[in-house]
A and B are shown apart, each in its own frame.
Chain A
Amino acid sequence: MQHTFIEILRRALDEELARDPAVHLLGEDVAAGGAFGVTRGLAQKHGSTRVRNTPISEAAITGLATGAALCGLKPVLEIMFIDFATLSMDCLVNQTAKYRYMSGGQLAVPLVVRTQAGAAGGAAAQHSQSLEAWFIHVPGLIVVAPSTPAEAYGLLKSAIRLGEPVLFIEHKRLYTMKEELAEGAELPPIGRSRIARAGTDVTVIAYSAMVQSALEAAQKLADAGISAEVIDLRTLVPLDMATIAASVSKTHRALIAHEAVRNGGVGAEIAARIGAELFDELDAPVLRVGCGFAPIPFAPELERALLPGSADLVRAVRRIMGLADKTRE
């Protein structure tokens, strides 16, 4: 039986609420199901104390959730659209991420901040961004970005049980993706990436929805005789450099792909680390695929034109392989 990303997130939250009385859900409209219906029915089942609506004030509710976590609860806060996590930034960066360090380990903030990122068609410049790079810059925050419904199920549960501040980024375009959930599967550990597809010629490193584009690209490349290995990072902090190193040492070529703008993105960080740590393994420059340096347009045609997709990945891999670019339109 296949379930959507939304249904599987709801099931994970439902099970964690039932498993641990310290788990609470907070956020704008979450008692009514939230903007995307992820939490639908959970307030009726677990009570409006544990599934609680908040005012539309991200700064205040991030402080509320952080305080609740400091006092022993395990809140799961929904920030509706990562675009508005900007309003949470002061608390997340200066308070949430710092308590464990500044208290000498006496305090912990077991808080999961769920938020939606990415462009999903016509949500325009203020509701379509991918802003994860800002958060990977902050020591003390864990950043998770699942690529499929089943991955999201395991990673959300692992995040709730981790006992650290976690930013859990859900891509809106994945919300309708369906997948079967393997019953009783082990929960993926936070900080370990996975090989989404094995290959020998080039390593494509991706996360979130871009893993799906990478798999599509790998299939097209396979038809052209190029074997691409796809790494699904799962977590951006901590970064599983060991898996990247093992793969790049095998393929000698690397491409990093994300939907966020290329400039100053996660890809820049990974490319720099590959350059520094795997220099002698490289047989080609490390390339990045990302969004052009522009706001996401409202017009769907323009949005499609700007966003990176599998064709961009195929083109970049062909460049890495030193092949003539036949796919240029």
Chain B
Amino acid sequence: MPLVAQKIPKVGLVMEDVKIVRWFKNVGDHVAAGEPLLEVETEKSVVEIEAAATGRLTQILVQVDSRAVVGDRVAWIEAAGAPVAARDGERIRSTPVARKLAAERGIDLGGIAGTGPGGRVQLDDVQRAIGAPRTPAPAAPALSPMRRALARAMTTSHATIPQFTVARSVDWTELQFLGREFGARLADGAPRLSVNDFLLLAVARALMEFPALNATFSGDPDSDDARIVQASGAHIGLVVAIDNGLLVPVIHDVERFGLAEIARRRLDCVERGLKGRLKREEVDGATFSISNLGAQGPDRFTAIINPPQSAILAVGRLRDCVVPRDGAIVVRPQSDLTLTVDHRVADGRLASQFLARLIAILESRDWRLE
């Protein structure tokens, strides 16, 4: 005796999802094709659904008050002379690709309602059963150790550190002049000075003047263990973009050195960083980082603090800006500096005082080369 699947037909234009209100027949009852077999509730109305075949109702698959979608198999009718049977003894009508996916995912085809012709189980039916998207996305490759560390650090930062930003423009006129002068005075073979060396030294000097900002927050703010730990020297991280990741080598005790020595140390640790040869203490212990995206970078941007540090300075690209100066309009080389600060460590007034001092240092002629 072939089995015929009783399915939810499409009634009206948008009936997708229905609730079974009642079954007019019980399992074992005789049904005639075309007579009402069950009643379903759609969004708009209650609809009677006719039996798909004449025969005996052998199984009700979806009970009253349960939901079904159009095309779902809700009952089996054992019919004499039925034209097609979804289930031919043990064999279930199914397409090759549906069988392949079901086998891959260890799913029993018998438990899946087939919506294809004659109740054939199709790819869609198996995908619906396993809750897979219609077109599975290609498997993404695993993260590199560096990407994972970065993801972890940035997630921790954003989730646990309340961060605020303050921003101001810096005028590079004096510093460009000094850079040329110092460049001429450098010993033969000494590394050339970069704007990052000036930034490192200026931040170091400002940190020494604002020890409250040269600190890290530790412990749970809710507990008595919460502390703000001040650092003894200026230990500053320099963010270096590399292929698919970042390096943040730390230069320790920056305040002790002149620009020439800072340039030497910066070049050394960046070069070793690119080769993956930085020691543990050379990436640890900073309270502050500098992120400079360079001449091709954006006008300004906001950086996220690298925990457990408490601040990061984002340096926008150097560009000629029209500025009012002494009642006249002049063109000056400027960058926007955006300082992100851990609000647990410092407040807005302190951060803006620090930034103002940092800019005063950068715009001054008061620098030491050695």
Interface residues of A (CB under 8 A from B): 200, 252, 279-284, 322
Interface size on B, as a range, is 10 to 19
Q: Confirm or deny: B348 has a beta carbon within 8 angstroms of a beta carbon on chain A.
A: no
User: Which single residue of chain A is at the shortest CB-CB distance from B125?
Assistant: A283
Chain A residues, CB < 8 A from B99:
280
CB pair A200–B135 under 8 Å, yes or no, is yes
CB pair B117–A282 under 8 Å, yes or no, is no
Segment 85-109 of B: residues with Cβ below 8 Å from A: 95-100
CB pair A283–B115 under 8 Å, yes or no, is no
Instruction: Output the least CB separation between B195 and chain A (Å).
Output: 49
A200 to B98: give the CA distance in the assembly, Å. Answer: 17
Q: Confirm or deny: B250 has a beta carbon within 8 angstroms of a beta carbon on chain A.
A: no
Chain B residues, CB < 8 A from A280:
96-97, 99-100
CB pair A282–B95 under 8 Å, yes or no, is yes
Chain B residues, CB < 8 A from A283:
95-98, 122-124
Instruction: Output the least CB separation between B297 and chain A (Å).
Output: 38
Instruction: Output the least CB separation between B363 and chain A (Å).
Output: 58
CB pair A282–B122 under 8 Å, yes or no, is no
Chain A residues, CB < 8 A from B191:
none
Given A280-B100, A283-B95, A322-B117, output 8 extra A-B contacts at Cβ < 8 Å.
A200-B135, A252-B95, A280-B99, A281-B97, A282-B95, A283-B98, A284-B95, A322-B116
A280 to B96: give the CA distance in the assembly, Å. Answer: 5
CB-CB under 8 A for A322 and B122, given A200-B135, A284-B116: yes
Instruction: Output the least CB separation between A94 and chain B (Å).
Output: 41
CB pair B116–A281 under 8 Å, yes or no, is no
CB pair A252–B97 under 8 Å, yes or no, is yes
Q: 7 shortest A-B CB distances, which residue pairs?
A: A283-B123, A283-B95, A280-B100, A283-B97, A282-B96, A279-B96, A280-B96
Chain A residues, CB < 8 A from B98:
283
A214 to B308: give the CA distance in the assembly, Å. Answer: 63
B96, B117, B122, B124: which contacts A281 (Cβ < 8 A)?
B96
Chain A residues, CB < 8 A from B115:
322
Instruction: Output the least CB separation between A308 and chain B (Å).
Output: 22
User: Which single residue of chain A is at the shortest CB-CB distance from B116?
Assistant: A322
Interface residues of B (CB under 8 A from A): 95-100, 115-117, 122-124, 135
Chain A residues, CB < 8 A from B135:
200
User: Which single residue of chain A is at the shortest CB-CB distance from B9?
Assistant: A324
A281 to B101: give the CA distance in the assembly, Å. Answer: 10
User: Which single residue of chain A is at the shortest CB-CB distance from B121?
Assistant: A283
A124 to B321: give the CA distance in the assembly, Å. Answer: 80
A200 to B135: give the CA distance in the assembly, Å. Answer: 9
Q: Which of A279, A281, A283 has the most CB of B within 10 A?
A: A283
Instruction: Output the least CB separation between B312 and chain A (Å).
Output: 45
A280 to B95: give the CA distance in the assembly, Å. Answer: 8
Chain B residues, CB < 8 A from A282:
95-97
22 contacts between A and B (CB under 8 A): A200-B135, A252-B95, A252-B123, A280-B97, A280-B99, A280-B100, A281-B97, A282-B96, A282-B97, A283-B95, A283-B96, A283-B97, A283-B98, A283-B122, A283-B123, A284-B95, A284-B116, A284-B122, A322-B115, A322-B116, A322-B117, A322-B122
Q: Which of B97, B115, B117, B123 has the most CB of A within 10 A?
A: B97
A284 to B118: give the CA distance in the assembly, Å. Answer: 12
Chain B residues, CB < 8 A from A279:
96
User: Which single residue of chain B is at the shortest CB-CB distance from A324?
Assistant: B10
User: Which single residue of chain B is at the shortest CB-CB distance from A279?
Assistant: B96
User: Which single residue of chain A is at the shortest CB-CB distance from B99?
Assistant: A280
Instruction: Output the least CB separation between B258 and chain A (Å).
Output: 62
A282 to B123: give the CA distance in the assembly, Å. Answer: 9
Instruction: Output the least CB separation between A272 and chain B (Å).
Output: 15
A252 to B96: give the CA distance in the assembly, Å. Answer: 10
User: Which single residue of chain A is at the shortest CB-CB distance from B117?
Assistant: A322
A132 to B97: give the CA distance in the assembly, Å. Answer: 32
Instruction: Output the least CB separation between B324 and chain A (Å).
Output: 56
A279 to B96: give the CA distance in the assembly, Å. Answer: 6
Chain A residues, CB < 8 A from B100:
280
A284 to B97: give the CA distance in the assembly, Å. Answer: 9
Instruction: Output the least CB separation between A276 and chain B (Å).
Output: 12
Chain A residues, CB < 8 A from B123:
252, 283
Chain B residues, CB < 8 A from A252:
95, 97, 123
A282 to B99: give the CA distance in the assembly, Å. Answer: 10
A281 to B97: give the CA distance in the assembly, Å. Answer: 5
A137 to B28: give the CA distance in the assembly, Å. Answer: 58
Q: Which of B95, B99, B100, B135 has the most CB of A within 10 A?
A: B95
A283 to B120: give the CA distance in the assembly, Å. Answer: 10
A200 to B133: give the CA distance in the assembly, Å. Answer: 14
Chain B residues, CB < 8 A from A322:
115-117, 122
Chain A residues, CB < 8 A from B117:
322
